[in-house]
A and B are shown apart, each in its own frame.
Chain A
């Protein structure tokens, strides 16, 4: 009874209540760097989610076997393995995306969101709940990346997923696809989510 609610909560919390970017402010480096187009944001979100789900399930299976002194080292090796798989997969099958994301795919290894979930959740919970947790966090991460890159692509290039959506005379805001645009947009998004949470709390 209580457990059923928790299962749902395990999944749902990553999307809003404990969103890795908006609330926990984890994994901001790829968030800020690659979100110049929806395609990039989506690819980064999916790659990170893939790594998160695979590592979370494997680590939760192995959680009782790994001595706690070497847990971080073990987590990193496992995460790095899945990151390399994702990186080589993109390079082989989606070379253009792989080129756009450059070093940020290999850098998922040090994404705090992924290591953080292993340490905080997967190493302490069973596989089912760990997968739910990873799914929720992955969806939350991907959603924020897609919204952020959508705003930046729309205003910075006048397109969405490469298709022209703004009127022809629209002059793109160059700043939006440069690093300041990432900081501005993310700052406003975090501000908005805090405002909504404050209003809800009242």
Chain B
């Protein structure tokens, strides 16, 4: 037999048999894997809504939240939902339970994390505290997520919004706090305005005179300076602008939004194709406080480069996450210097990037 024919024949047969065997095996194992996943979610919901007697799954159409409702008799006593965000090494997936008015956390459980063994993994399980291995997540019980939670180091958390960080795992602790701050606010909006945008209101409804908007076209040139052609593509909740430079891709940009100090902040985030390096950032829309939040775009204390805050993002690395630092120059590739007087706005922008990049990356895989 001709060698080429034999090569094709043998490889085809092997690949076909392999495909057949695997599809059989997949049909056998998939239900078990799915069953386990459901079981895991169920257990987590039970854990974070400890006082509820029966549970019902309800999918609220808004954003991407699935709400699991806990009842005591007929009375709704808690809502649990799954949230995700960037940790130190990979995405942290959490199940959080809150009271129906979102004013108190009833429980927190880590579904999935790949933090540094022995350090960051303490967010889920701390073997150094015998009998109280889950102290980190347990301390969230009864805490108030509004206006914002923050972590304290090397002392007991006292205030209702204080969380004790794990020593040696500050970034992981901070990541959990950030994910909760970001998502609980969004989930609350999604819960109370089903069907609407998961943000409170547009800027126009709140403070029309402060509303600042720039065109997408101008923003695209700023965030993807090296591209000369763009192509729009939708994937999941994201709309990507793929950048081309003489027919090869040179990165992409997408829009993401979050709640700033006054109202929504809409960003256009430009990234290199590896989803790690930021090529540029533009604020498409915001209505932050004039003279304070607006300093992210024009800081009167630095007349030479008024938009230094936004400019500093170009070239920063997102792996694992951006960190906001205060009152000193950013040095490391993952550090962002906050604008003094606009800390909340600065933090919001960093949070939007940290949370949306992993989601965008996942969405992007599906169109690739």
Complex Cα–Cα for A66 and B11 (A): 8
Q: How far is the CB of A110 from chain B (nearest CB, A)?
A: 17
Residues of B within 8 A of A70 (CB): 7, 10-11
Is A65 positioned at the interface, with any CB of B under 8 Å from its CB? yes
**Which residues of chain B come closer than 8 Å to A62, judged between CB atoms?**
14
Q: Nearest A residue to B31 by beta-carbon distance?
A: A92
Of B21, B116, B117, B128, which is in contact with the most chain A CB atoms at under 10 Å from its CB? B117
Asked, given contacts A81-B21, A177-B117, whether A91 binds B33 with beta carbons under 8 Å apart, the answer is yes
Give the contact stretch, choosing among A8-16, A71-79, A131-139, A140-148.
A71-79
The verdict on A80 contacting chain B, using a C-beta distance below 8 Å, is yes
Interface: B29 (CB within 8 A): yes
Given A67-B10, A88-B26, A88-B29, A77-B117 contact (CB < 8 Å) = no
Could you tell me if B18 and A81 are in contact, using CB atoms closer than 8 angstroms? yes
Alpha-carbon distance A28/B35, docked complex (angstroms): 34
Give CA–CA (A178, B14) in the complex, Å: 40
Q: Does A36 touch B at the CB level, under 8 Å?
A: yes
Q: Say yes or no: A74 contacts B11, CB within 8 Å.
A: yes
Known: A69-B3, A78-B14, A78-B18. A88 touches B25 (CB 8 A): yes
Whether A92 and B29, one on each chain, are in contact in the complex, defined by CB atoms closer than 8 angstroms, is yes
CB distance from B35 to the nearest CB of A (A): 9
Q: How far does the alpha carbon of A52 sit from the alpha carbon of B22 in the complex, in Å?
A: 18
B118, closest chain A residue (CB): A177
Q: How many residues of B contact A (CB 8 A)?
A: 26
The residues of B that contact A185 with a CB separation of less than 8 Å are none
- At the interface, yes or no: A195 with Cβ under 8 Å from chain B? no
The answer for the CA separation of A174 and B121 in the assembled complex, in Å, is 12
What residues of chain B lie closer than 8 Å to A102, measured between beta carbons? 114
Q: Is A84 an interface residue (CB 8 A)?
A: yes
- List the B side residues contacting A174 at CB < 8 Å: 118-119, 168
| A93 vs B30: C-alpha distance when bound (angstroms) | 11
Q: Nearest residue in B to A93 (C-beta to C-beta)?
A: B32
CA distance A92 to B27 in the complex (A): 11
Which residues on the A side are within 8 Å of B118 (C-beta)? 36, 156-157, 172, 174, 177-178
Report B115-127 CB contacts with A as 1/0, cut-off 8 Å: 0111100000001
Taken together as a complex, chains A and B put the C-alpha atoms of A85 and B28 apart, in Å, by: 11
Q: Is A95 an interface residue (CB 8 A)?
A: yes
B168 contacts which chain A residues (CB < 8 A)? Answer: 174
* Chain A min CB distance to B24 (Å): 10
A6 to chain B: closest CB distance in Å?
30
Taking a contact as CB atoms closer than 8 A, the residue among B11, B18, B22, B112 that contacts A99 in the complex is B112
Per-residue interface assignment for chain B, residues 4 to 18, with 1 indicating a CB less than 8 Å from any chain A CB and 0 otherwise: 001100110011001
**Cβ contact within 8 Å between A85 and B25:** yes
Question: Would you call B36 an interface residue if the criterion is a C-beta within 8 Å of the partner chain's C-beta atoms?
Answer: yes
Residues in A neighbouring B114, C-beta threshold 8 A: 102
Main DSSP-derived SS at the B contact region: helix
A residues within 8 A CB of B7? 67, 69-70
A-B pairs with CB below 8 Å: how many? 66
A92 x B127 contact (CB < 8 A) = no
Chain A contacts with B in 22-61, Cβ cutoff 8 A: 36
Residues on B with C-beta less than 8 A from A92 are 29, 32-33, 36
Chain B residue numbers with a CB within 8 Å of A66 are 10
Which A residues from 79 to 109 make CB contacts under 8 A with B?
80-81, 84-85, 88-89, 91-93, 95, 99, 102
- Please name all residues of chain A whose beta carbon is closer than 8 Å to the beta carbon of B11 when the two chains form the complex: 70, 73-74, 77
A157 touches B22 (CB 8 A): no
Once the chains bind, are B33 and A178 in contact (CB under 8 Å)?
Answer: no
Chain A residues closer than 8 Å to B36, beta-carbon distance? 91-92, 95
Q: Tell me which residues across on chain B come within 8 A of A93, comparing CB atoms.
A: 32
Task: Give A73's nearest chain B residue, CB to CB.
Answer: B11
Interface centre among B3, B6, B10, B119 (most CB of A within 10 A): B10
Nearest-CB distance from A131 to chain B (Å)? 20
Could you say which residues of chain A place their CB within 8 Å of the CB of B21?
81, 85
CB distance from A58 to the nearest CB of B (A): 9
The interface residues of chain B lying within 8 Å CB-to-CB of A178 are: 116-119
Of the residues A65, A67, A88, A157, contact of B33 by C-beta under 8 Å: A88
Give the complex CA separation of A99 and B33 in angstroms.
12
Residue pair B29, A77 in contact (C-beta under 8 Å)? no
- CB A94 to nearest CB in B, in angstroms, measures 10
> Known contacts being A81-B21, A84-B22, A91-B33, is A74 close to B14, with CB within 8 Å?
yes
Give the CA-CA distance A199 to B82 in the complex, in Å: 59
CB-CB nearest in chain B for A174: B118
User: How far is A174 from B120 in the complex, measured between Cα atoms in Å?
Assistant: 12
Scoring A69, A80, A156 by chain B CB atoms within 10 A of each residue's CB, the highest score goes to A69
Mind listing 13 A-B residue pairs with CB under 8 Å? A78-B14, A78-B18, A81-B21, A84-B22, A88-B29, A89-B29, A91-B29, A92-B29, A172-B118, A172-B127, A172-B128, A174-B119, A174-B168
Sample of 9 further A-B pairs with CB below 8 A, known A77-B18, A85-B22, A92-B29 = A65-B10, A70-B11, A81-B18, A84-B22, A157-B118, A172-B118, A172-B127, A174-B168, A178-B117
Q: Which 4 A-B pairs have the closest CB atoms?
A: A92-B32, A92-B29, A81-B18, A88-B29
